[in-house]
Every structure is written in structure tokens, then in C-alpha cells.
Amino acid sequence: MSVITILDYGAGNLKSVTNILEFLNCEYLVTNKKEDIKNAKSLIMPGQGHFGQFMNALQEKDLTEITVEKIKSGTPFLGICLGIQVLFEYSEEAADVKGLGIFPGKVVKFTHGKIPQIGWNKLKTTQNNSFLSDDYVYFVNSYHVIPDDKRIVSAYCDYNGDFVAALEHENISAFQFHPEKSGEIGYGFLKKWIDKFVCF
């Protein structure tokens, strides 16, 4: 198994993600160095916080272009929480800040129910899913993605209407939920991702 590179943009749920990797006996590197990202064999982007601050931090560290390059080159990539949102073109949370633009689409704020959504919600997997299951996982989010291409969606959840909970496309996987806060189910999902994309 190769070393998993975790992108450190200066915030995010790094400790909880590294705790899982240690539990799963995976080697990892937490870094914000461009050369490390360039040489990464697999990449996890954990995230929480504000879309604009996230993208500005990547830009300030000169990591935006190399991150896009790595994702588009086929490097196994996992985005968590804000890490799914920045894959799209823009967000209502910071309309003047461009996302990574890996996928066409946008990020919008929930318009009904308590905001943010905090707690457990049940996944409804799609035919595009390869390693999730219809179980309860843990969310903390006020925003959700709307892809132009619905074929990349691997799971929905219902929060006063369906929203995208996860996506898969070739080397890219991304979760709106927090696998690292979802107990044994979340650990299992992360292990399946590692088994599929990292064990080579």
C-alpha cells in the first residue's frame, strides 16, 4: 500500500481523518507543500468551514493548479465535506470565488429545515455507487452540491428534499458526510475506498 497524501490547507478535520488511517494501519503524509502534492499517489482533501476561505487558502499556498492537475491526471482522490463542494465551479457561500471546476455545477444553501443540518441521515445509493451502502452517516452542512451531470452521483439523502450526499467518477470519490464521524460504517467506507484505489 502506498502512502496516502492528505492536503493540509490550514483548517479542516485533519486529526479525525488521520485517526482513522492509523486505526486502519495506513501510512499517510499531511502536507501543504506543492512538491508533495505533485508526487502524491493518492490524495485526500478533508474540509470544513467556508468555501471562500478554503479556496483562498489553496491559492495562497499555490496549491490550486497542482491539485486540479493531480485530480485530472487520474490520481485517486477523496474529498470530504467541503472537499466535495470545492470540486464544483462556484458556491452561493462565496459567489465571487471560483471553485476547482473539476465538475460543472454549483453549491447551494439549504432552503428548508434547520440549518446547518447536524446529525445522522440515511444514504440512498444509486447505480453509480461501488462501495457505499444504504446506512446512516453523520452530516454537518449548510450547503450541498448540484452537479450538472447527475450520472456522477453515488448517493442521495433526504433533508426536506433529496440532496447529493456522495459522488463517484473514475478516480474521484467525494462525500458530503463525514466518514470519520460516522462510526464503524464510516470506517468501513474509508477502508473500501482504500482497498479500491490505494492498495496497488
Q: What is the pLDDT along the chain (200 residues), one digit of tens a residue?
A: 579 999 998 766 688 889 989 988 899 999 999 999 999 999 999 987 899 999 999 999 999 999 999 999 999 999 999 999 999 999 999 999 999 999 999 999 999 999 999 999 999 999 999 999 999 999 999 999 999 999 999 999 999 999 999 999 999 999 999 999 999 999 999 999 999 998 75
pTM exceeds 0.85 for this model: yes
- Which of 144, 168, 169, 180 is the catalytic position? 180
User: In Å, what is the CA distance from 163 to each residue of 44, 45, 101, 148, 155?
Assistant: 23, 21, 20, 13, 9
4-198 CATH: 3.40.50.880
State the catalytic residue, choosing from 81, 144, 157, 169. 81
User: In the annotation, is 178 catalytic?
Assistant: yes
180 among known catalytic residues: yes
Beta strands in the chain (DSSP E): 4-7, 28-31, 43-47, 77-81, 90-91, 105-109, 117-122, 124-125, 136-141, 143-147, 153-158, 162-169, 172-175
92 belongs to the catalytic site: no
